[in-house]
Structure 1
C-alpha cells in the first residue's frame, strides 16, 4: 500500500491557507473601518474549502473557442473574494460593520488555532508510527 503525505494531512493544509487569506481580508476591513468609500471584503469559507477539495457544486468551465479567456481555477490560494453586504450602509460609502468583522476575525482565529492543533496531532501520530514509540 502506497503512502501519501497529502492523504495523511487531509484537508488541513488547504484549510490553513484559506483561514490565513480570510484573516488578511478581515484585518484589512477592520483597519479601514473609518476609510470613506471602502468596500468590505470576505470569502465564503465553506465554498472555498469545498472548491479546494474538488467538491465544488458548480459545473466545470470549458473554453469553446481559443479566443476565450482561460477559466480561473479556484484553490486554497485563490479563493473568490466577495464584497460584504452591509446591514446598515453609512453615509460615506464605507461598508465595514466593525463589530461583525471583529467577531468574524475572532472566530477565524479560533478555527486557525484548531486546525493547527489537528494538524499537529496528525504529525505527532505520523512521528509515532515512524519511530515506533
Structure 2
C-alpha cells in the first residue's frame, strides 16, 4: 500500500485525482495538502499525518504561501524527509521549473493533461509504475 500525499491548491485538480483513483480502483490512501507548509506539517508531525512507510508526494508547483519548488528545497534539506519520492504534477511547462525540479531530485515531472480522459489515463499509468517500484 502506497501512502500518497497530493499537494495542490486547485479543487478541480484534486477532484480529478480522486476521480481517477475511483475509476481505476486505486485504493492507496490519499492525503491532501493545499500548499507546501501544510504538506511539510503533515510529513513532520508527531506522529505524521502521512505514514512514514511507502510515501509518495504528488506535487503541484504553482500554489500560494509555499509553492512546489520551495517545498522541494525544504523537503530535501530535512534529513528525515529528503529521500521521499516526489512526482511533480503541474501545468507549468517552463524549462526553468523542470530543471530546478530535477535538480531537487524529483522522480518525475508530469504536465497536467488538459482533458479529463487524459488525466485519468495519466493517473492510471502512474499507479501502475509505482506498484512495480520497490519502496521501503
- Which category of TM-score, normalised to the shorter sequence, fits these structures? under 0.3
**TM score, norm. by length of structure 1:** 0.27
**TM score, norm. by length of structure 2:** 0.26
Q: Which has the higher contact order (CA 8 A, sep 6+)?
A: 1
Q: Which has the higher strand share?
A: 2
Q: Which has the higher helix share?
A: 1
Structure number with bigger Rg = 1
